[in-house]
Structures are given as structure tokens and as C-alpha cells.
Amino acid sequence: MRRLLFIIQKEFIQIFRNKSMLPLMTVVPIVQLIVLSYAADNEVKNVNLAIVNLDQSAYARQLINKIQVSDRFILVDAPAAVQQADDMIQMGSVDIVLTIPPRFERTFLRERQGEIQLLVNAINGQQATVGAAYLSTIIRSFNQELRMDVSPRLVVQKQSTSPRIDIESSNWYNPDLDYKYFMAPGIMGELVTILVMLLTAMNIVREREIGTIEQVNVTPIKKWQFILGKMIPFLVVGIILLMVGLTAGKIIFDIPIRGNLGVIFAYCVVNLTAVLGLGLFISNLSDTQQQAMFTTFFFVIIFILMSGLFTPIESMPQWAQHLTIPNPIAHFVHVMRSVLLKGSGFSDVLFSFRVTVVLAVVFNILAVWSYRKVA
């Protein structure tokens, strides 16, 4: 036990001697949390729109005014010809082109129906899908207003005789649909995991480069003691990072904390144990810090993209969903969002605990096995 305590003491001394460690534990997580929470927003806004009005009627002007009132669209131009609008969408200067054909109002009044055209730039699939859906909603609302204006008696008669289903929706856990509430908890888990994993991956190989590892190798310290002594200080660093992130998230974004923080910190310990084991395993197999950093980035990129932080895991193919099971960041994101936003308890995130415990055992066994100690 004394040997283990000496290793832990040595690691803390090295951490405190590193002048970049304190900003890395305080300033960097706060800055990244603020920037990513505001920037990583999947909500579609400021859709560039061009309207070709070939009718110039009162109904056409009403529709255009209704669209301009919305804060989702920016009316870039109103070209006089369809060909000009086609050129604009090909050049990428607009996302959607709305064409109102000639005699739109006359046709609607005579035949009780009209046609308009939407041309959507679908290079950005999300921008195209969501932007077109917004515009279609506005057009449907305008269509309903026109029908009530043209034939109010008919509408009243239909409403009084036809059965109707009323739908009322309620947004649980995030009533205001604030995207920062959704992103910030996941970003906290991601930052804690990445920073700790990167620091650990370069730890042993750094000592190997400067030669201090040889002094440890000639001591009677066992391999598991060395790995555990390396792990505990960075486990404390990870918990401090999480505390800083939770404090900053509450102060800056007023993130709701509906669940028990003890569940989050308990899972943080289990998750960081797994991540530290993986980082130490990478460090044992690397010859230089650059090699360790590149290997870590290889895993980190895969973990982030398949963590459900930016895209739902349920939207992935079935084989990709299976690959997210051994992903520690995916489970950390899930636990953070479930506990903070939904108020989930230990039993609700038990699956993530079980999987992460298995990962922790496997990664740390590999870390101990791969450590090359020369007596």
C-alpha cells in the first residue's frame, strides 16, 4: 500500500508542476462548453429564400408577407423570371425558391385550389428538409386562412357537422425546447472523457521519452500498482473537470438538475476508470507522444461521432447501433442527459453502468498486461 501511495504522490507532484494543467482543468472546459453549446445547434434558422412572384395579386402579396414575418427565412431576392431563380439556386446563393405562378389568385377563386412550386437546394439535407417543412407549414396555414375567407359558411357548416380530433402536445423534460439544455450535458460528458483520455495516453510514453520510467522499472513496484497509481490522480482530475463543467453549466445556461448528482459522479468514476485504462493501454503501446496522440484521436473521433451527441443513435443503421454499446462517451452522454433533464435514477441507467464496468475491467487488464516492466 505504501508503494501505491508513493506513486500517487509522485503523480500529483508532476501534475501540479505542470503549469498548463490548471488552465486545462478550469478555463479550457468552460470555454469549450460555452462555444460548443452555442455552436452545435441543429435548429435550422436563416434559410435563404428567393420568391418569384408571377401573379402580383393580393393573395400572392399576403403569402409573401406571411413568410417575411417568420424569423426562419431571409428573403434574399425577388427575381422576375424563373430562370434567374434557377441560376441563384445553382450558384448556392439561395436555399429555397418559391414560385407563385400567373393567375394564382384567379385560379384559386374559380377552382378552390391553386399550385405553387418549391425548389429546394438539397446539398445540405437537413437544411433542405427542415427549411422546406417550415415553409410548407406557413403555406398550409395561409391556405386555411384563404379557405375560411373565401367560403366561411361552408367551413362553419363542415366544422359543425363533421367529427374532429383535437391534438394537444406537451414537451416533457425540455418544455421550452431550448437546444442548449440538450447539448450542454452531453458536451460535459464528452469533454471530461476526451481530456482525461488524452492526458493519460501521453503520460507513460512521456516518462519513457524523458527517461524517468527507467527509475521506476528497477523498483520492486508491481505492474498493477504502477497502473493504479497512474490512474487515481487522473481520476481525481476528471472528477474536478466534471464539477467545473456542472457548475459552469448551471451558472451560464441554467441547466436543470432534476436527478441525483450522486448517480452522475458514481458513473463518472466508473466511466473514467474505463477511459483511463484505455488511455494507459495506448500509452504502453506507443513509442512517442505524437504516436499516442494520433492513436487517441483515432478512437476519440469514432467515439464522438457514434456517441449520439449530435445525431440520434436510433437514426443509425442497426450495425452501427451495436457498435455504440462499447462506446464510453455514448453512455456518458446518455447518463448525463437522463439524470439532469429527466431525473432518472440508478435503476434507469443500470445498463450503462453494467457495460462500462465490463469495459473498465477489460481495458485495465490490457493496460496491466501491456506495461513492459524491466526488473
Residue 107 has pLDDT above 90, yes or no: no
Report the pLDDT value the prediction gives residue 154, as an integer from 0 to 100: 41
pLDDT digits (tens, 9 = 90+) for 121-137: 888 777 777 888 888 88
Report the pLDDT value the prediction gives residue 362, as an integer from 0 to 100: 94
Residue 265 has pLDDT above 70, yes or no: yes
Report the pLDDT value the prediction gives residue 157, as an integer from 0 to 100: 45
Which band of pLDDT confidence, cut at 50, 70 and 90, is reported for residue 261? very high
Q: Are strands 96-100 and 117-120 parallel, antiparallel or unpaired?
A: antiparallel
Reading the block at residue 296, the C-alpha cell is: 487517441
Report the pLDDT value the prediction gives residue 6, as an integer from 0 to 100: 77
Report the pLDDT value the prediction gives residue 207, as an integer from 0 to 100: 77
SS3 299: helix
Name, in order, each residue with C-beta under 8 angstroms of 57's C-beta and a sequence gap of 6 or more: 104, 105, 106
Report the pLDDT value the prediction gives residue 158, as an integer from 0 to 100: 46
What's the pTM?
0.78
Greatest mean pLDDT range, 35-49, 86-100, 210-224:
86-100
Residue 303 has pLDDT above 70, yes or no: yes
Report the pLDDT value the prediction gives residue 160, as an integer from 0 to 100: 47
Averaged confidence pLDDT in the chain: 83
Name, in order, each residue with C-beta under 8 angstroms of 135's C-beta and a sequence gap of 6 or more: 47, 49, 67, 73, 96, 98, 118
47-151 belongs to which CATH class?
A: alpha beta
Q: Taking residues 348-368, what's their average pLDDT?
A: 93
SS3 164: coil
Report the pLDDT value the prediction gives residue 103, as an integer from 0 to 100: 85
349, 339 Cβ separation under 8 angstroms: yes
Distance CA 374, CA 218 (A): 7
Residue 355 has pLDDT above 90, yes or no: yes
Q: Taking residues 86-111, what's their average pLDDT?
A: 85
Distance CA 151, CA 239 (A): 66
SS3 370: helix
* 112 or 2, which is more confident: 2
Residue 19 has pLDDT above 80, yes or no: no
Distance CA 275, CA 359 (A): 8
Which band of pLDDT confidence, cut at 50, 70 and 90, is reported for residue 275? very high
Which band of pLDDT confidence, cut at 50, 70 and 90, is reported for residue 213? confident
Which band of pLDDT confidence, cut at 50, 70 and 90, is reported for residue 42? low
Report the pLDDT value the prediction gives residue 340, as an integer from 0 to 100: 93
DSSP output for 173-184? S-TT--HHHHHH
pLDDT digits (tens, 9 = 90+) for 138-179: 888 888 777 776 555 444 444 444 555 666 777 788 887 778
CA angle 250/255/261 to nearest 5° reads: 75
Name, in order, each residue with C-beta under 8 angstroms of 320's C-beta and a sequence gap of 6 or more: 306
Residue 10 has pLDDT above 90, yes or no: no
pLDDT digits (tens, 9 = 90+) for 185-205: 888 888 888 888 888 887 778
pLDDT digits (tens, 9 = 90+) for 328-351: 999 999 999 999 999 999 999 999
Domain boundaries, given as residue ranges, for the chain: 47-151, 178-370
Distance CA 78, CA 50 (A): 6
If phi > 0 it is left, if psi is from -120 to 50 it is alpha, else beta; for residue 232 that is alpha
Q: Phi, psi (5° rounding) for residue 326?
A: -85, 25
Buried b (16+ CB within 10 A) or exposed e, 241-266: bbebbbebbeeebebbbebeeebbee
